[in-house]
Amino acid sequence: MNPLIYDFDFAELAARVKSWGEPKFRGDQVWDGLYKNLWTKPEEFTNLSKSLRAKMGELLSFDALTPITIQESKDGDTQKTLFELHDGQRIETVIMHYEREEGQDRNTVCISTQVGCGMGCKFCATGQMGFKRQLSSGEIVAQVVYAARALQDVDKILTNVVVMGMGEPFHNYDATLEALARLNDKKGFNFGARRFTISTVGLVPMIWKFAEEGLQYNLAISLHASEDELRSSMLPINDKYPINKLLEACRYYVEKTSRKLTFEWALIEGVNDTPEQAHILSRKLKGLMCHVNAIPLNTTRGFHGRSTSSDRAKIFKETLEDNGITCSIRAHRGIDIQAGCGQLASRE
């Protein structure tokens, strides 16, 4: 297989083009075509000579992702795409549209970093698949380019990228950060760092490492329980990195970066949606610059827990806020198309 063009950073791509006997500015033109014009095929680079376009097609691969299934929710606000990769493996990407009463509408893409996942979270369809392989940085980048172009085709603009799809981003740390750096490059895609959010299940050493990077990306922690026994029953990684060690790393991250953390919380009826859980959580998060982002569980075939009711979710939120912890309850998105990460790929 030819090298994937999205796997190159600017210097590498420019050097590759120059090695073909092309002048230096041709590398800039190829880079601009990829990340400013969102061209995805050699023949779209009409500012290049036919011979250079032919050489690009002959020596480089543009086909990172092949759409297999595209599903759109009934309300039209969520679109999920199942992609096949060069080796036949499959991943998912989800585009979500949020209307705002004032200001720019929000269009978010949720991207994957692995085929499957090795973390084994009990309620997650991807975790139930097991780990297949890492995605390359280019395969991660290509998902964002695909979403940006799909939105552009309907006169919309990509506003946010969340690294919350299939896989644990910090288990594929280098490729994930390489991909975001490429997308953040001011000479190319130029997507603002604060418009990226990386979600981790809590790989403590990588949180410490990430804190030292000096990056402005947002960080979200999948917490889901405030006591070790309960969290371990749902998230096996908690046996290795229990809540106190995780929160120690979180406090260091906030101290080092001065950035607010988000804690993700899937509300499961009668399990982690109780006022007692909210009280314990508020005590553990006291003094930490953070926000709790709760969402009723998106049920999967491999987990028997039920989604909480709106009344129980409201009480959970109010209990946290009464104790000084801000909380928002996210609305379900794409339930009719199984838009939770891994649901379509595991079914296929």
Q: Which residues are catalytic?
A: 92, 341
Contacts 24+ apart (CB under 8 A), 194-199: 194/218, 195/159, 195/160, 195/161, 196/160, 196/161, 196/162, 196/163, 197/160, 197/161, 197/162, 197/163, 197/164, 197/262, 198/163, 198/169, 198/170, 199/162, 199/163, 199/164, 199/169, 199/264
- Three-state DSSP at 205 gives helix
Number of H helices, E strands in the chain: 12, 12
Q: Which residues contact 153 (CB under 8 A, 6 or more apart)?
A: none
Nearest to 119 by CA among 180, 170, 176, 179: 170
Backbone angles phi, psi at 80, to 5 degrees: -115, 130
Name every residue whose Cβ is closer than 8 Å to that of residue 59 and which is 6 or more positions away in sequence.
2, 3, 20
Determine the Cα–Cα distance for residues 94 and 63; give it in Å rounded to an integer. Answer: 19
